[in-house]
Chains A and B, each alone.
Chain A
Amino acid sequence: MTSANRKDMLKRGAIWGFILLELAFFSIIGDQLSVSDQPFLAYDNMLLVLKQSAPIGIIALGMTIVMINGNIDLSVGATFALAAIVMLDSMTWPFMQAMGDWAIPLAWLFALATGVIMGAINGIIVWKTGVDAFIVTLGAMLGFRGIVFMFNGEQPTSHLNWTLVDFAEAQFLGLHTATWFLLGAALVLWLLMTKTVHGRNAYAIGNNREAAVNAGIRVGPHFIWNFMLIGFLAALSAVVFYSESGSVNPNDGMLYELWAITAVVLGGTKLAGGYGSIISTLGGVIAIQLLRKGLGHIGADTQTVNLVIGLILIAVLVLDRQLNRKGQGELKI
């Protein structure tokens, strides 16, 4: 193994090392400062961390793919809310209500289709106009959110279906439904990105688009597939989350795009594209959730949590830069 490869392994492992550090820190400090009697490392608590990682996590997996491909999607939070509304509202339509519990898969299908369509819109615009994905999806973020508000004004959209709630709250082999969705999505996407032609080409396009074009790769369709995929995943995330809660506010999902990007970047994926991994993003998502949970455990409030996460994100990237760039003769600025 060459030293470059070893360095690569080390980089991929870093996020998991960070997670271990968090676990150790919060178990030890937690004993002193905890506001609850339960130890931080309690089995139930860890299961909850995974479950709560799911909504942002599923979106972050999609964001990884889009970012490896050299794009970004800022509209996922709005897509998330829109898909949730479609799912909950569709179950109140007369013909759906007449179907009984058979309405559930259909409602899911509607929601997922909404996500795919929103993604396809982004993808087609990015491909056909050549406008930067950042701008296109920024517009989409505002636009989709507008549709969410047009639907029901400031009012929440609610529909509680107990079969659905039971399903969402179920535990299979100990893990919650949401966790299974997160892990399942991670497995499928990992296979997609490491083993298939689409994944290979997505990396190539993100790393050097011109070389990919010269190699006869159709860049546009890959873009569209990836945007459809992230749209689908944003909707899937909504489906899993709102099956349990049954009520969506028009502001739900705001800032989700930024949390997803935070997790992706913590996992080591490059903003510039061409480099990154699904598994590391999973690590990034879990690391953030552990941090929230852990800081909560020792009695910190939400504002403090956000401050700490922000600081850690910057610290990690500074560290990454120091380790990777030092001595390579880069410009001093």
Chain B
Amino acid sequence: MTDQTPVLRLEGIVKTFPGVRALDGVSFDVRPGEVHALMGENGAGKSTLMKVLGGIHAPNEGQIFVGDEAVTMTSPKHAKAKGVVFIHQELSLADELTVAENIFLGELPLKGFGRVDWGKLYDDTNAILKTLNVGFDAKTRVGDLSIANQQMVEIGRALTVSPRAVIFDEPTASLTDSEKVVLFQVIAGLQEKGVGIIYISHRMEEIFKITDRISVLRDGQYRGTLLTAETNEDDVTKLMIGRSLDLSRSEATHELGDVALEVRGLACGSLFEDVSFKLHKGEVLGFYGLVGAGRTEIAETIFGLRTPSAGTILLNGEEVRITSPIDAVQRGISLVPEDRKDQGLVLGMNCRDNMTLPQVDDLTAGPFVSDGAEIAIFDQYRDKLDIRTPGWRQTVGNLSGGNQQKIVIGKWLSMRPNVLIVDEPTRGIDVGSKSEIHNLIRDLASQGYAVIVISSEMPEVLRVSDRIVAMFNGRIMRDFTAEEVTEDNLIQAISGISEKVA
């Protein structure tokens, strides 16, 4: 790294929207060959900053420099022409087109009379794919690729120009650990070429593994840049939320009750098999494993969304057959799904209606729904879960991720479930709300609820669970108590390294 002129430099960027100062004087730079983390809670201004960089929003004040050149971005395409490219968290690929067509979408090589130069297209694409070291070729249909490989296609798109700065927005959100390793190799490859990288993520582990510096935003303000090697998670967190977080595990202080749910030899096709476990009242059972290990599928089977091919489910000691979510709800099983926005909430509806959705049938006076009964339930759980909303009329889509998740949890708690299953309780939720949700889960257990927590984040399962079930490839590898578990033996169990312990 001889040339130390920053590839990308922001100076005093200000962006205001009516009533909000979304960005308030943000300045930092990205050096060639550097991985620069950008962190901040949801709403801290990261996305707005990206939109300013991509030319979607024009800044009210401040200046962007690419190399030495002052640039006013007008569109993502313009940004790309200047060498600033984005890898978005949400993939935007056309499934029915080939890898090559996707990579060169909008800039297909042409020959005379506007015909596509297919030969050149495939050659160029294969050259890019080679640098990414992937196992598929230019003519593969994108819809046939795994999510991780689709992300590689997205990265390939960035490489059709020689980028100076690449911005990754939560790139590992849907990747398994081994897929992450591949992604990190690609990032390292870009670094070697002197490309500057902005890496946006909530995941501390990754940040400390691959980045050189960390810049932090809070409430639209730039809070400082830290050298990764000289700081720790605690300092970064403090900078992000303005206080330090208690990340230690709260010990179980209560007695376990009877077995609320028992599963014996449950299987569902090739998704998972031979799954057996017991869940007591007052206990949090954590399910940990890689994406695709079958955790969510087990939850969906218990909730009646999938039909098991073998095995039995016992609720409070009694064998039950659950054939639909309606069935599950009536038997007191609740599922807080993985994807809050698509599966958990009716975003266009208000807070109260969302919360009472599963039980509105029982809240009627004559032929009509009773407003009073609904508001009473909403008020009770708003207070209990500390949901911050201007009022029950607020549309759920306008709440923050943490508050949205609390609405979903409140919805099921108000049904007084026998078994509460929470799939990825804090996905996409900022650090502050995360620990609130963790405390909430612990509280529920101490109140006697039987809770299953499914999570891809090790600190999370370690923090909230009384026992942890480690899954690999559709099988339970091991069942840990909170005392036995360590990060090492957990990692081994979910990677299929350790022997299965019966």
Contact = CB atoms under 8 A, between A and B. Distances in A.
Contacts of B75: 332
B348 A274 contact: yes
Interface stretch (A11-19, A82-90, A130-138, A201-209): A201-209
B369 A200 contact: yes
B56 A329 contact: yes
Contact of A216 (B325, B344, B353, B369): B325
B354 to A, nearest CB: 8
Nearest to A200: B360
Interface stretch (B105-113, B283-291, B392-400): B392-400
A200 B353 contact: yes
Contacts of B17: 327
B322 to A, nearest CB: 12
Contacts of B51: 329
Given A215-B411, A216-B325, A216-B330, A203 B349 contact: yes
Contact of A211 (B343, B390, B393, B394): B343
A214 interface: yes
A217 B369 CA distance: 16
Interface in A213-261: 213-218
Interface string B240-255: 0000000000000000
A32 interface: no
A216 B358 contact: yes
A40 B450 CA distance: 70
B57 A329 contact: yes
Contact of B335 (A5, A191, A201, A214): A214
B368 A2 contact: no
A332 B74 CA distance: 12
Interface string A267-291: 0000000110000000000000000
A183 to B, nearest CB: 20
Contact of B328 (A5, A216, A327): A216
A75 B337 CA distance: 37
B364 A210 contact: no
Contacts of A218: 326
Interface in B159-203: none
B335 to A, nearest CB: 7
Interface residues of B, number: 38
A2 B303 CA distance: 37
Interface in B200-239: none
B346 A216 contact: no
A195 interface: yes
B357 interface: yes
B256 to A, nearest CB: 28
Contact of B347 (A5, A208, A212, A215): A208
A196 interface: yes
Contacts of B390: 2
A212 B368 CA distance: 20
A201 B360 contact: yes
Nearest to B389: A2
B342 interface: yes
A88 to B, nearest CB: 34
Contact of B342 (A200, A204, A210): A210
A124 B347 CA distance: 28
Contacts of B345: 208, 211
A197 interface: yes
Contacts of A211: 342-346, 357
SS class, residues of chain A in contact with chain B: helix
A42 interface: no
A311 interface: no
A216 B368 contact: no
Nearest to A210: B343
A4 interface: yes
A204 B349 contact: yes
B114 interface: no
A332 B76 CA distance: 11
B367 interface: yes
A274 B368 contact: no
A2 B349 CA distance: 15
B328 A212 contact: no
Contact of A214 (B343, B361, B391): B343
B329 interface: yes
Nearest to B370: A195
Contacts of A5: 393
A4 B360 contact: no
Contacts of A200: 353, 357, 360, 369
A329 B346 CA distance: 22
Given A4-B398, A204-B349, A208-B346, A191 B368 contact: yes
A197 B369 contact: yes
A129 B329 CA distance: 25
Contacts of A212: 346, 357
A195 B367 CA distance: 8
Given A197-B369, A200-B369, A274-B346, A215 B358 contact: yes
A216 B347 contact: no
Interface in A293-328: 327
B367 A207 contact: no
Contacts of B367: 195-196
Given A4-B395, A197-B364, A217-B357, A207 B349 contact: yes
B363 to A, nearest CB: 8
Contacts of A208: 342, 345-348
A195 B348 contact: no
A220 to B, nearest CB: 11
Contacts of A327: 17
Interface in B263-293: none
A257 to B, nearest CB: 25
B41 to A, nearest CB: 20
B348 A207 contact: yes
B337 A214 contact: yes
B325 A195 contact: no
B343 A2 contact: no
Given A214-B337, A215-B329, A215-B358, A195 B349 contact: no
Contact of A213 (B325, B347, B360, B369): B325
Contacts of B364: 196-197
A194 B411 CA distance: 20
A211 B336 CA distance: 10
A214 B358 CA distance: 9
A104 to B, nearest CB: 29
Contact of B368 (A195, A201, A207, A275): A195
B358 to A, nearest CB: 4
B349 to A, nearest CB: 6
A215 B348 contact: no
B395 A214 contact: no
A5 B394 CA distance: 8
Given A208-B347, A214-B335, A214-B344, 18 more contacts: A196-B364, A196-B368, A196-B369, A197-B361, A200-B357, A203-B346, A203-B353, A207-B349, A208-B342, A208-B348, A211-B344, A211-B357, A214-B337, A214-B343, A215-B358, A216-B326, A216-B358, A329-B51
A-B pairs with lowest CB-CB distance, top 10: A216-B329, A195-B368, A215-B358, A207-B348, A215-B357, A207-B346, A216-B326, A208-B346, A204-B346, A274-B348
Interface of A: 2, 4-5, 191, 195-197, 200-201, 203-204, 207-208, 210-218, 274-275, 327, 329, 332
7 contacts: A2-B391, A197-B360, A200-B353, A201-B360, A207-B347, A212-B357, A214-B325
